């Protein structure tokens, strides 16, 4: 399978970040971790970085126009000779449309989506456990439920768009990390 762009989508806690890292290392792809990019902006002094950091600190999800400014400012950092794995973006239809347009301008046309899905109860269980282990202030039950509502409202409708425009694989995220990795490798025909 000819790969140059892979999107990982799924609810928080589905393991998509872990799987994206594993696959990026295996393929030698650039790993675009939207959460890490936004967190790294804390150390930047641009007006955009200050605006982004202030919103994130208040617990808000970024609106498309602001998120797309960040995406556009960082897209040039992807080496043109490397494939790219997107983790945490796109989350909404407008983001997907923008990203497809920008990537096609770079000559990237082979899009694959790995939709790692887990039930809502499993998401809650995993995120509360992670909050406990990592002492994460953004993972209270109330905040997790709010983010999940946002996911089902905004991200879920984008799935049809991705099904039409990418090679789309739905993967059960409930088994162990190793089992999910094995399924991903089979779907992508990787040895």
* 4 secondary structure, DSSP code: S
Q: Which of 175, 156, 185 is nearest to 10 (CA)?
A: 156
Distance, in Å, from the CA atom of 188 to the CA atom of 184, rounded to the nearest integer, reads 6
Query: What CATH code is assigned to 5-187?
Result: 3.40.50.300
For residue range 133-190, list pLDDT tens digits in order. Answer: 887 666 678 878 888 888 888 888 899 999 999 999 999 999 999 999 999 999 999 9
Give me the phi and psi of 172, to 5 degrees please: -75, 120
Per-residue model confidence (pLDDT) at position 138 = 62
pLDDT at 61 over 80: no
Domain ranges within the chain, ordered by starting residue = 5-187
- Tell me the C-alpha distance between 90 and 88, whole Å: 6
Residue 131 pLDDT grade (very low, low, confident, very high; cuts 50, 70, 90): confident
pLDDT for residue 59 is more than 70? no
């Amino acid at each position: 399978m000819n790969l140059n762009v892979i999107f990982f989508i799924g609810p928080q806690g589905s393991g998509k970040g872990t799987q994206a890292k594993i696959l990026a290392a295996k393929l030698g792809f650039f790993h675009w971790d939207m959460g890490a990019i936004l967190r790294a902006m804390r150390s930047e002094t641009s007006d955009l970085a200050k605006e982004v950091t202030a919103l994130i600190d208040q617990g808000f999800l970024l609106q498309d126009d602001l998120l797309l400014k960040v995406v556009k400012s960082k897209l040039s950092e992807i080496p043109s000779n490397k494939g790219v794995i997107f983790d945490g973006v796109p989350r909404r239809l407008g983001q997907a449309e923008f990203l497809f347009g920008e990537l096609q301008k770079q000559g990237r046309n082979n899009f694959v989506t790995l939709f790692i899905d887990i039930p809502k109860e499993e998401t809650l269980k995993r995120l509360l456990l992670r909050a406990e282990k990592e002492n994460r202030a953004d993972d209270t039950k109330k905040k997790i439920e709010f983010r999940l509502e946002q996911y089902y409202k905004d991200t879920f409708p984008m799935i049809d768009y991705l099904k039409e425009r990418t090679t789309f694989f739905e993967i059960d995220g409930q088994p162990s990390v190793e089992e999910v990795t094995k399924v991903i490798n089979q779907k992508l025909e990787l040895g």
